[in-house]
Amino acid sequence: MDTIIMVFLIILVAYFSLGLLFGFYFIFLGASKVDPLMEDSKKKVRLLLLPGVIATWPFLIGKLFKSKPVD
Amino acid sequence: MGLDYKLVLWNKHKKTYDKIIALGMLLYLVVFVALTLALNPETTAETMIIRAFGSLAILMLHIILVIGPLSRLNPQFLPILYNRRHLGVSMFLAALVHGAFSIIQFHTLGDVNPIYAIITSNMDYGSLTNFPFQVLGFLALLILFYMASTSHDFFLKNLSPKIWKGLHMMVYLAYGLILMHVFLGAFQQETSPFTIGIIIVGFITVTSLHLITAFKESKIDKFNSEKNSEGWLEVCEVDEIPNDRAKIFTVGNERVAIFKYEGKLSAIHNVCKHQGGPLGEGKIVDGCVTCPWHGYQYLPHNGQSPPPFTEKVATYELRLNGKKVYINPNGFEEGTEVQPVTC
Ligand code: HEM
Ligand code: FES
């Protein structure tokens, strides 16, 4: 039981830490590459999105790789 | 719909609803504290906060869960449905205060990480009466965090509506976890019979409303009609459709809304491109089919959102024979122009 709990917690912490790192990159740089509406979005909107990006980064990272580079 | 993202798509009504939410929450907390002080004056401030916010959160969750079915049974509830997202985020914040205070009160005394402490301070996972019910609350809070943090339209679009919907359907899992959290917790803290009573009544209300709506909608789905020789389906009489409104039919496994406006009939797919709202329950406003959920608009004769917007839904061909309306069950590509029939 103890090991299950430890593994669960380590995964949880790792998931959210990676999400935080990715999150800052994504809201200020990456997001405009996957969604043109982000280019003109304000800083407050970007920060509002941060918690959600931290929560769902594995889905978004895939989208980022698939996106075509914009010039 | 919009050319950049906004914090919130405000309009006058939404501001009013948000004020009602905030005032309602405040009122609840004040009444809760006043009643607790009157009935149980020795309750500590922390316990009061934990109980006030916990019960507020579950009350709000019940409201959120009944709005969907209620607004399908009676369109008067639709305006609340539009504002459900803000209700959801506020509910999460109330639950967060409850969870945070519980952790502070019960789990920060030692030197271990408080999250670790929630899970391990009571290892009686096999027991019914001494189950670590806080863990269930923690898992529910995690789900609520997912939903609240992804409630912005950005996530609806970029996670894809399918994943987003799946994520938000987890509200039922969260609801189940919270019911267990409260019931198993009741064995240990003497949760008042009042709270337990409210939750039982709430549970019965939520389930019966969902069942009634499902039953009512299954009748629409069972709609059966004669096919004429060329495969067209007879759906109804012209007079059954009210002006500037629609009737919804299931043709070839898809729901289709047939609108009557300006003496004409047009049929489009019933599912809104935004979040799958039922277009056929909306009205024609300024010549456009207007989704009852958040107001996305589509032109009835081609299923396209008016420029600069780009959403498109499938269109269907209609025919009139006397008063009888016929539909071709094979829909067209999304956004295909179809000549409306005059009636
Ligand atoms: C980290 C997450 C959570 C923790 C640690 C936690 C902890 C607790 C504790 C210790 C109690 C007993 C309080 C008392 O009666 O003195 C309690 C009760 C309760 N919790 Fe939670 N909880 C969490 C999440 C949630 C969530 C997400 C909800 C609902 C949305 C919720 C709803 C309730 C309710 C309704 C009660 C009963 C309140 C009453 O006695 O009137 N909890 N929780
Ligand atoms: S579902 Fe949001 S506008 Fe139709």
Residue B140 near ligand 1, beta carbon < 6 Å: yes
Shared domain for B40 and B171, answered yes or no, is yes
Shared domain for B34 and B119, answered yes or no, is yes
| Separation in Å, CA B277 to CA A6, A19, B124, B151, B282 | 42, 31, 45, 16, 9
Select the residue of A5, A12, A49 nearest B154 (Cβ to Cβ): A49
HSE-up of residue B12 (Cα within 13 Å, Cβ side): 0
Contact B332/B315 with Cβ under 8 angstroms?
Answer: yes
Range with lowest mean pLDDT among B222-226, B315-319, B330-334: B222-226
Choose one of B194, B220, B246: the last residue of a domain. B220
Q: Does A55 sit within 8 Å of B149, measured CB to CB?
A: yes
Distance to chain A for B18, nearest Cα, Å:
18
Instruction: Provide the residue range defining the domain that includes B114.
Output: 12-220
Task: Using a CB–CB cutoff of 8 Å, tell me whether A16 touches chain B.
Answer: no
By the 10 Å C-beta count (0-12 exposed, 13-18 middle, 19+ buried), A53 is classed as: buried
Choose one of B188, B220, B252: the last residue of a domain. B220
Confidence of residue B198 (pLDDT cuts 50, 70, 90): confident
pLDDT score recorded for residue A23: 92
Say if B225 falls within a structural domain.
no
Q: What is the CATH number of the domain that holds B315?
A: 2.102.10.10
Shared domain for B283 and B207, answered yes or no, is no
**Pairwise pLDDT comparison (B224 vs B275), residue with the higher score:** B275
CA distance B201 to B209: 12
Counted across chains A and B, CB pairs separated by less than 8 A come out at 65
CA distance B256 to B249: 5
The answer to whether residue B147 scores a pLDDT higher than 90 is yes
Q: Which amino acid is at A60?
A: L
- Closest ligand (CA of B47): 1
Shared domain for B210 and B290, answered yes or no, is no
- B266: which strand partners? B259
pLDDT score recorded for residue B307: 83
Confidence of residue A17 (pLDDT cuts 50, 70, 90): very high
Say if B289 falls within a structural domain.
yes
Shared domain for B213 and B246, answered yes or no, is no
What is the SS3 assignment for B41-53? CCCCHHHHHHHHH
Choose one of B196, B220, B244: the last residue of a domain. B220
pLDDT in tens, A28-69: 888 888 777 777 777 788 888 999 999 999 988 888 877 655
- Closest ligand (CA of B52): 1
Range with lowest mean pLDDT among A56-70, B60-74, B265-279: A56-70
* Sheet of B233-237, strands arranged across: B233-237, B324-327, B318-321
Shared domain for B252 and B118, answered yes or no, is no
Shared domain for B179 and B255, answered yes or no, is no
Tokens of B263: 């003496």
Say if B97 falls within a structural domain.
yes
pLDDT score recorded for residue B94: 97
pLDDT score recorded for residue A5: 81
Task: Using a CB–CB cutoff of 8 Å, tell me whether A1 touches chain B.
Answer: yes
Phi, psi of B41 (to 5 degrees): -60, -20
Range with lowest mean pLDDT among A40-49, B44-53, B197-206, B235-244: A40-49
Q: Does B6 sit within 8 Å of A48, measured CB to CB?
A: no
Q: Which residues of A touch B116 (CB under 8 A)?
A: 5, 9
Shared domain for B271 and B161, answered yes or no, is no
pLDDT score recorded for residue B105: 78
The answer to whether residue B58 scores a pLDDT higher than 80 is yes
Positive/negative CA dihedral, A4, A7, A10, A12 = negative
Contact B310/B273 with Cβ under 8 angstroms?
Answer: no
pLDDT score recorded for residue A71: 41
pLDDT in tens, B93-143: 999 999 999 888 776 666 667 777 777 776 666 666 667 788 899 999 999
| Separation in Å, CA B124 to CA B20, B128, B134, B187, B218 | 42, 9, 12, 13, 44
Q: Which residues of B touch A1 (CB under 8 A)?
A: 123, 125
pLDDT in tens, B25-39: 999 999 999 998 998
By the 10 Å C-beta count (0-12 exposed, 13-18 middle, 19+ buried), B19 is classed as: exposed
Number of domains in chain B: 2
The answer to whether residue B268 scores a pLDDT higher than 90 is yes
Confidence of residue B13 (pLDDT cuts 50, 70, 90): low
Q: Does A45 sit within 8 Å of B5, measured CB to CB?
A: yes
Shared domain for B134 and B278, answered yes or no, is no
Is the whole-model pTM more than 0.90? no
Distance to chain A for B147, nearest Cα, Å:
8
Contact B233/B327 with Cβ under 8 angstroms?
Answer: yes
Shared domain for B18 and B121, answered yes or no, is yes
